[in-house]
Amino acid sequence: MKAQRVSLWLLGAILLLCSVHARGLRRCLISMDMHQIEETFQEIKRAIQAKDTFQNVTILSTSEFLHSIKPLDVCCVTKSLLEFYVDRVFKDHQEVNPQILRKISSIANSFLYMQKALQQCQEQRLCHCGQEATNATRIIHDNYNQLEVRSAAIKSLGELDLFLAWIGKNHQGTSTA
Amino acid sequence: MLPRLVVLLAALLGLRLRSCAHGTELPRPPSVWFEAEFFHHVLHWTPIPNQSESTYYEVELLVYGVEPWKSIPSCSQTLMLSCDLTMVTLDLYHNDGYRAKVRAVDGNQHSNWTSTSTRFSKDEVNLTVGSVKLEMHNGVILGKIQPPRPKMAPEGNTYESIFPHFREYEIAIRKVPEHYKFTNKKVKQENFSFPAPGELGEFCVKVKPSVGSRTNKGIWSEEECIVLSQHYFTMTNLSIFFTFVLLLCGPLAYLLTLQLYMRQRGKLPTVLVFKKPSPFSLINQLPSSETQDTIHPLDEEAFSKVSPELRNSELHGSTDSGFGSAKPSLQTEEPQFLLPVPHPQAGGTLGKGAPLELESSCNSGSSNSTDSGICLQEPSLSLGTGPNWEQQVGSNSQGQDDSGIGLVQNSEMQPGDVQGGSALGHVSPLEPEVTEEEDPAMAAFQGYLKQTRDTEEEAAKAGCLEEESSSTDGLGPQFRTCLDAEEGRPPPALAKGYLKQDPPEMTLDPSGAPAGQWNQLTEEWSLLSLTSGGDLGISDWSFAHDLGPLDCVAAPGSLLGSFDSDLVTLPLISSLHSNE
């Protein structure tokens, strides 16, 4: 009898953990080819990053910010950052060079697509924003506000590769590192 | 007033210019960039335009997002345009990047900073390959790619760990004289293989690595070449070749050795050949004999023809069949030996069987003898000459007594007449003409009768002995004498039997058989058995022929039948000389 009880308890605990973990595993994945976006960015990286004169300041890379986000908050943070870029960075940046502008536009369009994909996850209530996710979003906005708008925008554009790498890492399942 | 202002302005301008020259004394380096490979990060910059010998450059590094710029003093050497910053950028693959700036310094002057245009991040690392190894296996070229293994990489920072997924390699192959074609192969692991083009020559391969999920650039590796040569002498080929050689040569060698062995074994010594007398041996001895298998009695007529030839002929030697006479006079005389012709009428069986046996036994016995070859045998001896010989040998008592030809007869024949076999050769039962006349009597004396110790012969012997004694030679033609004594005339050749020419040690009993034999010469053959106990192997028939006048042969009613002319011509027949 004792053995049976113990086994039942163990089974229940395992099931509970699995459910909890499954909830975390049940992430809202963006099935998108990030590689294409990354390649596009690489083409304009030099032009954009060269304009970044405030080299000792960062917006996205604060204290290993992106690396410290938990898997449960990935969906929320991703959604927030996508809104940040679409609503603030791409609008604030004034690009003169048409070729660079074209590429920035393509990246922006990709971000819009990703936003729509995440919106479906939010309707399914899979994209719950916790406290840590909310705090993380606020920090980014604060960093962005400390700089001049044009410099901030340029800097944020220059850090797109970090954002794209982070998305690829968290939203591609086990296929990416 | 005005000059003072002008001087002041000039002074101010001069100061300003100087200050400007100070600030812009040294131009800033035009560009600064990183050239990085896996854990090999090198900062490059272009020199300032008017670089002096004492110009050196200061380098500062910044971790992106971290405030203080860190100076790198190791790069501050004169005329140094690049600097390895690997050791200070080890976290490149884990952080968000670095920023570096360079300025020129010359003495008290320094230039403005020139920083890298981009944030030095992991994306700027150019991917390379450590090494490529090529091997050839069964017509397939196997390649193994070794990722870079830099020494400065910290523990655990391997190429595979930094880029764990989607590592890809592009492979380009070319044949030596040609150039690289654009049809390259892409593999997703560090091993690759491609079938050998089947041509001989040198093939070169180069590899460009890449990571599928990243935008890192790859750099083509150096060429790795392999020479394809026709391997005829592979282990498998050699083993197959040697097995085939063994399979082919083994049986051949075995057969050769077997044949050699058999040949050596098969060679019978000539001494033993006699046991199987070939029918041709007699022919050799009687080459001119037409009917070699039969011995015809001497024809008086034929003999008469021959006799003059042979009278004075001194036929000795090997051709002599043994009809040697101790007396020299005998030699000059006609060969007296008379061979009883195997009359076909009488003793048909004998005639038939005789020739074969005659040949067989004669060959064996006469191969080494000086016998003329005339061998008289009994057909009953068809069983073999061996036993016959043995019989003769066995009958030493009788054989030895016989000095002439001994007739070995079967029991079927008149055993009484023939006492066992003649000591020596078989005596084919020649059927002289006499046999026709007196069959029973002749049957007993077919061919050469063995000289027995019959009492009736003794008388004849006695008579003969007297004359025998006259014959000096022990092997003298005693028969003749006996014949002479009886008939008072030269006995027919028939009467002459074969006298055994005993070797010196042999003691011939002169008074024995020969005498007895010739007592019956008139009607019958007197056969002289060759009694040579030890000369069985050779038909040592010493035919003691009566070298008397050949008229013996010509005598009518001679016991001898017609002698074959051919036989007569035979030296053996003619030479009735005693073998010496």
Please list every residue in chain B whose beta carbon sits closer than 8 Å to the beta carbon of residue A62: 65
The burial class, CB within 10 Å (0-12 / 13-18 / 19+), for A135 is: exposed
Q: Report in angstroms the alpha-carbon separations of B132 from B37, B178, B337, B519.
A: 17, 20, 110, 121
Query: Of B62, B117, B125, B158, which to mutate for an interface test with A (greatest number of A Cβ within 10 Å)?
Result: B117
Alpha helical stretches, state H, B171-232: none
Residue B139: phi and psi, rounded to 5, are: 80, 5
Q: How far is B138 from chain A (nearest CA, A)?
A: 37
Q: Does A38 touch chain B (CB under 8 A)?
A: yes
Confidence of residue B322 (pLDDT cuts 50, 70, 90): very low
Please, which residues have CB within 8 angstroms of residue B8's CB and are 6 or more apart in sequence? Answer: none
Rounded-to-5 percentages of helix, strand, coil across chain A: 75, 0, 25
Nearest-angstrom CA–CA distance, B423 and B517: 15
Please list every residue in chain A whose beta carbon sits closer than 8 Å to the beta carbon of residue B66: 56
**Interface A-B: count of C-beta contacts within 8 A:** 53
Average pLDDT, rounded, for chain A: 85
> Taking CA atoms, what residue in A is nearest to B32?
A50
Q: Report in angstroms the alpha-carbon separations of B35 from B85, B90, B342, B428, B526.
A: 10, 15, 129, 125, 136
3 state SS for B445-480: CCCCCCCCCCHHHHHHHHHHHHHHHHCCCCCCCHHH
Q: How far is B192 from chain A (nearest CA, A)?
A: 23
* Length, in residues, of chain B: 580
CB atoms within 10 A of CB B393: 18
Average pLDDT, rounded, for chain B: 64
Q: Which of B330, B295, B328 is nearest to B568 (CA)?
A: B295
Which residues share a beta bridge with B195?
Answer: B140
Q: Does B201 touch chain A (CB under 8 A)?
A: no
DSSP state of B202: E
pLDDT digits (tens, 9 = 90+) for A36-95: 899 999 999 989 999 888 888 888 887 667 788 888 888 889 999 999 999 999 999 998
pLDDT digits (tens, 9 = 90+) for B495-530: 445 555 554 444 444 444 444 444 444 444 444 444
Please, which residues have CB within 8 angstroms of residue A52's CB and are 6 or more apart in sequence? Answer: A151, A154, A155, A158, B119
Could you please report the per-residue DSSP string of B39-82? Answer: TEEEEEEPPPTT--TT-EEEEEEEETT----EEEGGG--BT--E
Q: Assess contact for B459 and B518: CB atoms under 8 A.
A: no
Contact residues, B window 110-129, toward A, CB-based 8 Å cutoff: 115, 117-119, 121, 123
Point out the residue among B95, B117, B214 whose CB comes nearest to the CB of A50.
B117
Please, which residues have CB within 8 angstroms of residue B140's CB and are 6 or more apart in sequence? Answer: B193, B194, B195, B196
Nearest-angstrom CA–CA distance, B148 and B122: 16
B215/A177 Cβ within 8 A: no
A162/B96 Cβ within 8 A: yes
What pLDDT score was predicted for residue A66?
A: 78
Nearest-angstrom CA–CA distance, A20 and A101: 44
pLDDT digits (tens, 9 = 90+) for B537-551: 444 444 444 444 444
What pLDDT score was predicted for residue B198?
A: 67
What domains can be seen in chain B, in order of their start residue? 31-115 (2.60.40.10), 131-228 (2.60.40.10)
Q: Assess contact for B499 and B477: CB atoms under 8 A.
A: yes
Which residues share a beta bridge with B321?
Answer: B371
Nearest-angstrom CA–CA distance, A151 and A140: 15
3 state SS for B17-36: HHHHHHHCCCCCCCCEEEEE
Confidence of residue B196 (pLDDT cuts 50, 70, 90): confident
Nearest-angstrom CA–CA distance, B349 and A28: 129
Could you please report the per-residue DSSP string of A20-62? Answer: HHHHHHS-------HHHHHHHHHHHHHHHHHT---TT--SS-G
Nearest-angstrom CA–CA distance, B82 and B86: 12
Does the pLDDT of residue A161 top 70, yes or no? Answer: yes
pLDDT digits (tens, 9 = 90+) for B428-455: 444 444 444 444 444 444 455 555 544 4
A175/B214 Cβ within 8 A: no
Nearest-angstrom CA–CA distance, B415 and B503: 29
What domains can be seen in chain A, in order of their start residue? 1-171 (1.20.1250.10)
B62/A38 Cβ within 8 A: no
DSSP state of B272: G
A38/B215 Cβ within 8 A: yes
pLDDT digits (tens, 9 = 90+) for B49-102: 888 888 889 999 999 888 789 999 888 888 888 999 999 999 899 888 899 999
Q: How far is B118 from chain A (nearest CA, A)?
A: 5
> Taking CA atoms, what residue in B is nearest to A51?
B117
> Taking CA atoms, what residue in A is nearest to B164?
A177
pLDDT digits (tens, 9 = 90+) for B134-173: 988 887 889 999 999 998 888 889 999 999 988 999 999 8
DSSP three-state, residue B361: helix
CB atoms within 10 A of CB B552: 34
Q: Does B158 touch chain A (CB under 8 A)?
A: no
pLDDT digits (tens, 9 = 90+) for B465-501: 444 444 444 444 444 444 444 444 444 444 445 555 5
Query: Of A34, A155, A161, which to mutate for an interface test with B (greatest number of B Cβ within 10 Å)?
Result: A161
A162/B118 Cβ within 8 A: no
User: Does the ipTM surpass 0.85?
Assistant: no
Point out the residue among A49, A56, A177 whose CB comes nearest to the CB of B117.
A49
Which residues share a beta bridge with B211?
Answer: B167
Please compute, for residue A160, the number of CA atoms within 13 A of its CA located in the half-sphere on the CB side.
Answer: 31
Q: How far is B36 from chain A (nearest CA, A)?
A: 16
Scanning the structure block, which residue is given the tokens 């870079």?
B148
Q: Does A147 touch chain B (CB under 8 A)?
A: no
* Length, in residues, of chain A: 177
Please list every residue in chain A whose beta carbon sits closer than 8 Å to the beta carbon of residue B118: 45-46, 49-50
Q: Does A17 touch chain B (CB under 8 A)?
A: no
Please list every residue in chain A whose beta carbon sits closer than 8 Å to the beta carbon of residue B213: 34-35, 168, 176
